[in-house]
Structure 1
Amino acid sequence: MNAGDDVRREVAEWWATSVSRIEPGVIELRGRPIQDLLGAASITDVIWLLLRGERPSERQAALLDAALVASADHGPHAPSIAIARMSATCGVGLNNAIANGVNVMGDVHGGAGQQCLEMYTEIRDLARDGAGVAEATRSTIARWRERSRYLPGFGHRFHPRDPRRDPLVGLVERAVADGVVDGEFLAAGLAVEAAIAPVPMNVDGATAIIYGELGFPAPLARGLFVLGRSVGILAHAWEETQGGRRIKGPIPPSITPAYHPA
């Protein structure tokens, strides 16, 4: 073996991955030839496959699909969509408009699902250690409220009751009854909701239940939310490009911001 072979091996190992295999004439995702997936796997199946290394069951895929659909769009009220629409009028192209929308999804806008799943996981772990769900919920809520008066995944600035909550929770309840998932995260979510009533669970709280029940770690709750919301961002950015408006700002030109002298 010569020095050139050593360099090629080192570079190949530097980018080693188990996610995909790409060679001339070969595309494999987690060992599955792409030609076997085309027409046989949905995008939800492929998301699961790439993240988990295996295909989901039909019921697992249905739960993940529902969570992604629930996250897809929330109109220009959402900063990620408003920013994408404004970006689309600045001549930057759809890829930049989508990226700009995605890039504002942080701890406050877009991160609640991850935070909520972290909270549920604390409750689940304490309950497993013998605290019981009710006591685990009380102590976890107390710790989280030391950081903020807001509990991630509960309440909504726009909806008195999030219309996505009941269908998502209902899907999980049926999955628990059928033995598809074990129900620990569902129990945690419902316990938090009961403890802080009448503040209802929102879409982040409901999808966090789904991601937890499906075995996704908390950071992926944010990543999966971003995937779902990217669909809405694309649709809004594309619609905005079709209107012909240039340099759309956050308010119409006829309205000027109030001025408050320092």
Structure 2
Amino acid sequence: MSEQQRLTTKEAAERLGVKPETVYAYVSRGLLSSRRTDGGRGSTFDVKEVDALSRRNRREAAAGPPGELSVRTRITLIEKDRYYFRGVDAVELAERYDYEPVAQWLWTGELHPEVRFEAPDDLVAAARQAVAALPRHCGPTDRLRVATIAAAAADPLRFDLGEEAVLATARALSPTLVAALPALRHGQDRRAALADRLWCRLTDREADGASIAVLGKALVLLIDHDLAASTLAVRVAASARAHPYAAVSAGLGVIEGPLHGAASGLAHRMLAEVVERGSAAAVVADHLRAGRRVPGLGHRLYPGEDPRAVALFAALDAVPQAADALAAARDVVATTARHTELHANVDLALAVLTVASGMPAEAGETIFAVARTAGWIAHALEEYQERPLRMRPSGQYVGPRPPQPLP
């Protein structure tokens, strides 16, 4: 390369956006190579090396401060007590569309309002057989995890990570999981919306339009919520090029914790007790006396109100049989507000739905898991386009320094 095609120290510094002395620091650290000019009074630098270092610096700056894991995503933005899917207000999407159209739009960017997902017979048969073999005491997340693994085993094409193959898996997985759960009512059309099919797995009560609308809205609102713990687990699995079933299984393994998907069950039990006792005061006092936080209140990402809870409470106002549970929830919020202003979160709103609909305490966890499947697939699709195994932080070893004696 001729000297005319190389950069002076000043030119390299300008291209990198740093001071000239920083350029020499890059040389001393081995990040840049330099060549002395013919006169020996300065150095020149390879244009391609400088540009490559500039791109690297921009990537590291975008990734956030050192020691903080940050993942760039185009799926969900949480900002100022609102949240958005691909820049569109998630609450408005839930007002307008069913779960399947929003899920497909999240995956592909194409919206088809009438789309419905169907479960392949062979996947459903495998999932149901596996779920039927579980002990009766198993919870819904146990059933969903086993159904996911069984469906994967029945799908010989699961290792195809091409976009179309992953999308085919995505469209089949949610309805397969719903179909694998024991039905408490029969006669649901396989082409019905997913909310209708899920309802008869959660309660033996006959569905009414207002309640189904709330369930459908909850499914859309819960599709994704940025890098929640379960979603991060999904992206780690996808980074290792695990197939979509395995990635979803990783997410299901995380949501069982009481601080994530299972939180709605705690809120359900508390709310049912408030309805039974007729007042929140004694129930809240019992939680605080036992050293437990009051479930269903507050969210670390929303200093104000959780927009998901606001939307669901508004929809529940149209459900006559939800009146008692709604009043109990508002009593809980008002009681705790005497000392700490904590707003209701989505777990409390789900609890109102599940208590009012005669669903078991675990129903909110099931709704959460089924809904979040679409978001997990969206994140897996994103991660499959990234460099493999990039989700590999370095451990900070704090054990004894070697050499140590052989035990």
Structure-1-length-normalised TM-score: 0.74
Work out whether residues 235 and 380 of structure 2, in 8 Å CA contact, stay in contact via their aligned partners in 1: yes
RMSD of equivalent CA atoms: 2.4
Work out whether residues 205 and 358 of structure 2, in 8 Å CA contact, stay in contact via their aligned partners in 1: no
Which residue pairs with 2:22 in the alignment? none
Deviation for aligned residue 1:123: 0.6
Q: Distance in 2 between matches of 1:31 and 1:207?
A: 24
Please list the CA deviations of residues 196-234 of structure 1 after superposition, one character each: whole Å capped at 9, or x if unmatched: 121111111112112212221212222222112222112
Q: Which secondary structure state, in structure 1, belongs to the residue aligned with residue 303 of structure 2?
A: coil
Work out whether residues 154 and 205 of structure 1, in 8 Å CA contact, stay in contact via their aligned partners in 2: yes
Q: Is 1:154 the counterpart of 2:297 in the alignment?
A: yes
Structure-2-length-normalised TM-score: 0.49
Which residue pairs with 1:46 in the alignment? 197
Change (3 A) 1:123 1:43: same
Q: Which secondary structure state, in structure 2, belongs to the residue aligned with residue 160 of structure 1?
A: coil
Which residue pairs with 1:247 in the alignment? 389
Work out whether residues 70 and 203 of structure 1, in 8 Å CA contact, stay in contact via their aligned partners in 2: no
Deviation for aligned residue 1:165: 2.1
Which residue pairs with 1:21 in the alignment? none
Q: Is 1:90 the counterpart of 2:243 in the alignment?
A: no
Change (3 A) 1:245 1:211: same
- Equivalent position to 1:234, from 368, 373, 377: 377
Aligned length: 215
> Structure 1: which 5+ runs fail to align?
1-13, 16-26, 128-132
- Equivalent position to 1:99, from 249, 252, 270: 249
- Equivalent position to 2:330, from 190, 200, 203: 190
Please list the CA deviations of residues 117-143 of structure 1 after superposition, one character each: whole Å capped at 9, or x if unmatched: 10000111112xxxxx2xxx1110111
Q: Which secondary structure state, in structure 1, belongs to the residue aligned with residue 307 of structure 2?
A: coil
- Higher relative CO (Cα under 8 Å, sequence separation at least 6) belongs to 1
Q: Distance in 2 between matches of 1:194 and 1:167?
A: 19
Q: Distance in 1 between matches of 2:295 and 2:395?
A: 32
Q: Distance in 1 between matches of 2:327 and 2:391?
A: 44
Q: Which secondary structure state, in structure 2, belongs to the residue aligned with residue 218 of structure 1?
A: coil
Q: Distance in 1 between matches of 2:274 and 2:346?
A: 19
- Structure ID, larger Rg: 2
Work out whether residues 83 and 100 of structure 1, in 8 Å CA contact, stay in contact via their aligned partners in 2: yes
Which residue pairs with 1:223 in the alignment? 366
Work out whether residues 64 and 211 of structure 1, in 8 Å CA contact, stay in contact via their aligned partners in 2: no
Q: Distance in 1 between matches of 2:285 and 2:392?
A: 38
- Equivalent position to 1:75, from 217, 221, 226: 226
- Equivalent position to 1:206, from 349, 364, 367: 349
Q: Distance in 1 between matches of 2:202 and 2:326?
A: 22
Letter in 2 for 1:248: R
Q: Distance in 2 between matches of 1:257 and 1:216?
A: 44
Which residue pairs with 2:176 in the alignment? none
> Structure 2: which 5+ runs fail to align?
1-131, 134-178, 401-407
Q: Distance in 2 between matches of 1:50 and 1:196?
A: 34
- Equivalent position to 2:314, from 170, 173, 187: 170
Deviation for aligned residue 1:91: 2.5
% identical equivalent positions: 28
Larger helix share, 1 or 2: 1
